[in-house]
Chains A and B, each alone.
Chain A
Amino acid sequence: MEILGGLIHNYYYFVAIILFVIGTHTMLTHANMIKKVIAMNIMDTSVFLLFVAIGYVQGGRPPIIGSDPEALYINPLPGALILTGIVVAVSVTAYALSLIVKIHRAYGTVDYDEICELRGDE
């Protein structure tokens, strides 16, 4: 019961982990390459969610310096990190997609199983 209570209390973390598992699973088990890339993005985003959730302070305000110096701000560091993370993830996505287009040109398919069959025939 204690664990369950902990989960409900930290539901952001819980959801992030679930999304991570779904993403990884989809990425590793689906044969379609584009599906793999989408799942990769889901996986990455879920980790970012975890980061943002860690940085969140109950009742905190966005880290924009305003007139009130006493106000409670959230931790700005994870946010800054995730900005980098998103850029990196998008560039990996772009690269992976360009690869997929080339693979389609070379094999005529983007399905991993079909490619394995094609290569098996060679």
Chain B
Amino acid sequence: MVLADQLPVLIVITPLIGAFLAPLIYRRHEKASGYLVLLSLLLSVVMAVFLLIKVRRDGPYFYQMGNWPPPWGIEYVADPLRVFMLLVVVAISLWIFLFAIEDLQHELRRTVIGWYYALYLLLVASMAAITMTNDLFNLFVFMEICAITSCAIITVKEDRECLEAGFKYLILSAMGTGCFLLGVALLYMVTGQLNFGFLQQELTAAVINYPLNVFTAAALFIVAFGTKAALFPLHVWLPDAHASAPSPSSAMLSGLVIKIYAFSLFVIFYRVFPRSLLDSLPLSEIVLWLAAFGVMFGSVYAMLQTDLKKMLAYSSIGQIAFIFMGIGLDQRLALVGGLYHIAVHAITKAMLFMAAGAIIYATGVRRISDMNGIGRVMPLVLVAFTVGSASMIGIPGTGGLISKWYLALGALEIGRSLFVLVILLSSLLNAIYYMPIVINAFMSQDDFACQVKEVPKVLQSALVIGMIFVVITGIFSRPLTLLLEEAVTVFF
């Protein structure tokens, strides 16, 4: 079918069209605009599922923008890995939007909600494009769009902290893209290519002739994506930005946006750089150690926080480091673990932010110490929070355990048992800061002091869907891990 061949670009275009229409419709019909956004996201999900089926059946294929063959045209790739990531992106965006549609009424001024819808869809479109593009410059363009929109969904809530955090994010993110572009220029200098596939061929020779260029580019890429994905020690922007944003934005940023950059680094490591480069340079080693420090740092700092959303934000720094650890370990199983953790953490952290959002929605409480006894007045929200915490800790039956299992197995396979200890230690630390919240929420003898509004049904159903996701990733993980295992085998 002709339409089926156009799927990669349709998935990017559908939310883009929605992004243009949503604010226009919003002026007249607020409800209809929300449904339009839902519809365009739903369409994207359906298309992503079709794409997955197609790729599973016919194998990976390349889509050439406007029928220009590379190296002139821009190329999109649909292979199992990219489609997996794509599916994660669109499905979770759809799910978060369910939450957003209700929560935004409360957090934002009425007039800006239409614009928020547009930004949201633009963000989804740019993330979808980033996952599929096979061209470095196209990647750069969509990274900038992604940066602006994700910054905009922070600052759309115009209070002081959001503005300041948004600006900090924008500047550091600009530094990240600057470094990225410089790296691209260095690679282009020695190869004359921007397409991933051609680059990989050319680089095999270029590494020998121009080693410095390639090494510098690699280092710049680590800095660029490390900044954007909040890899320790380049994470400084994250806690403020994710904590102050409106809750749906926090869920989106912590759940998906930082993962996209980690995924891009992974793609560049394995799709752009030839294997010989990875073997000869300690690139993975650097990423690995940064990740190990990040895991510990994020967990320790999360323990010190008094604000719930800030705690969740610091916890993201620790968790994103798991994904980098998968990349850094440079081993098949660990890579599967890291990639699986993208999905798991996206679901879990988004759900935790939603739960935090629901708490703020209903009570206005943000401080952890004020939440004693809250579980008795809003049980469903706190049960969702508990399930999310369990997945963060890695309790059996939740997705967190599966990704940690793969990571640990990969680390053991290459004899790096030190990193298994890091993983376990971080689980312990996670337990230490997540559990008291849950315990005090349900078991504390103090009665919850604040006035409580009822949480709307839509928010509740979003949380229930999240819990189902978490359990599914924990118990029926096999199809997904099988897909990932097959997908990463080509890299080794």
A and B touching (Cβ–Cβ under 8 A): yes
Taken together as a complex, chains A and B put the C-alpha atoms of A57 and B72 apart, in Å, by 19
B182 touches A115 (CB 8 A): no
Give the size of the chain A interface in residues (CB under 8 angstroms).
34
B175 touches A92 (CB 8 A): no
Residues of B near A81 (CB, < 8 A) are 137, 194
Taken together as a complex, chains A and B put the C-alpha atoms of A103 and B140 apart, in Å, by 28
Of chain B, the residue at the smallest CB distance from A20 is B182
A95 touches B174 (CB 8 A): no
Taken together as a complex, chains A and B put the C-alpha atoms of A23 and B171 apart, in Å, by 12
The minimal Cβ–Cβ distance linking A103 to chain B, given in whole angstroms, is 5
B182 touches A99 (CB 8 A): no
Answer whether A96 and B185 are a contact pair too, CB < 8 Å, given A88-B141, A102-B155: no
A47 touches B181 (CB 8 A): yes
The minimal Cβ–Cβ distance linking B66 to chain A, given in whole angstroms, is 14
Residues of A near B59 (CB, < 8 A) are none
User: Chain B at the A interface: mostly helix, strand, loop or mixed?
Assistant: helix
B178 touches A92 (CB 8 A): no
A47 touches B182 (CB 8 A): yes
Residues of chain B from 157 to 183 with CB closer than 8 A to chain A in the complex: 158-161, 163-164, 166-167, 170-171, 174-175, 178, 181-182
B175 touches A24 (CB 8 A): yes
B144 touches A99 (CB 8 A): no
Taken together as a complex, chains A and B put the C-alpha atoms of A100 and B166 apart, in Å, by 10
The minimal Cβ–Cβ distance linking B190 to chain A, given in whole angstroms, is 9
Residues of chain B from 242 to 258 with CB closer than 8 A to chain A in the complex: none
The minimal Cβ–Cβ distance linking A17 to chain B, given in whole angstroms, is 8
A99 touches B185 (CB 8 A): no
Residues of A near B141 (CB, < 8 A) are 84, 88
Most chain-A CB neighbours within 10 Å: which of B141, B164, B175? B164
Q: Which of B144, B148, B171, B178 contacts A47 (CB 8 A)?
A: B178
B152 touches A40 (CB 8 A): no
The minimal Cβ–Cβ distance linking A98 to chain B, given in whole angstroms, is 9
Q: List 14 A-B contacts (CB under 8 A).
A: A27-B175, A28-B175, A40-B174, A43-B174, A54-B189, A85-B181, A88-B141, A88-B145, A91-B148, A95-B148, A96-B167, A96-B171, A99-B163, A100-B167
6 extra interchain contacts, Cβ-Cβ under 8 A, other than A24-B175, A95-B151, A103-B160? A20-B182, A27-B175, A40-B178, A43-B178, A81-B194, A92-B148
